[in-house]
């Protein structure tokens, strides 16, 4: 039986992140890293930029599919 454990780790630098991910991989864990950006959720500029990023990605893939 597979279990899903959601955890939050605070790291100081990229080397610590690499060591943590390597260790979890060695245990057979599937690691998904999500940036901590909850404090931006109510920011209008953040929402605008996130939407613009999504629109740009859609336009990019539409261009590739059509050409």
Q: Report domain extents, the chain.
A: 14-66
Q: How far apart are CA 15 and CA 1, in angstroms?
A: 32
Specify the pLDDT at position 53.
93
Nearest C-alpha neighbor of 34 from the set 15, 58, 8: 8
With a threshold of 0.75, does the pTM exceed it? no
Specify the pLDDT at position 8.
83
Q: How far apart are CA 52 and CA 47, in angstroms?
A: 9
CB of 38 within 8 A of CB of 49?
no
User: How does pLDDT run across 6-42, given as a tens digit for each residue?
Assistant: 888 888 898 998 999 999 999 888 888 777 777 777 8
Here the tokens at position 61 are 């893939």
């Amino acid at each position: 039986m597979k279990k899903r454990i959601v955890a939050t780790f605070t790291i100081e630098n990229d080397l610590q992140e690499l060591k943590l991910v390597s260790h979890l991989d060695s245990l057979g864990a599937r690691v998904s890293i999500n940036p901590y950006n909850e404090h931006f959720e109510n920011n209008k500029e953040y929402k605008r930029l996130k939407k613009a990023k999504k629109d740009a990605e859609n336009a990019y893939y539409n261009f590739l599919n059509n050409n």
